[in-house]
Structure 1
């Protein structure tokens, strides 16, 4: 699985920025992640997230929102797959 991550990063450096952001901020909401990265690359980010989730690099969780009016709408949050998180540190530092 870690080889797949290396392959993706070598293919497009934007994968690294997505993975690093989730690595640095575990349990980040998908909406917040897309806002923080780039509005210009929204299409790429959405497809990249879909690929990273399907490859089990990222894990998508559903959580209830806080005590606001949006609390009835579940929020989707991301975290790094715990099985590869230790190996990712050396890749992300390069």
Structure 2
């Protein structure tokens, strides 16, 4: 059996999914909205908490950076939701948690 015979006998189900522009736009829209919210919140927290209320800058900076510090947990939670179902569903209960 040659390499060419193996590639011809593969089933169409084994092929990777095709690129979808619509799916990429939906995924990208979440990140764009999240970034716009981050910009608005950082401006408000900077103005109100640091300037007007006189709060020191490090707690405000820690709150702003928490999103980036916790991002590795999102990767782990995504893996858990894909591999370990809760009550027969994969992602629903992880979203509720």
Fold shared, TM-score > 0.5 on shorter chain: no
Could you say which structure has the higher helix fraction?
Answer: 2
Indicate the structure whose relative CO is greater, using CA pairs within 8 Å and at least 6 residues apart: 1
Could you say which structure has the higher strand fraction?
Answer: 1
TM-score, normalization: structure 1? 0.25
Give 1 or 2 for the bigger CA radius of gyration: 2
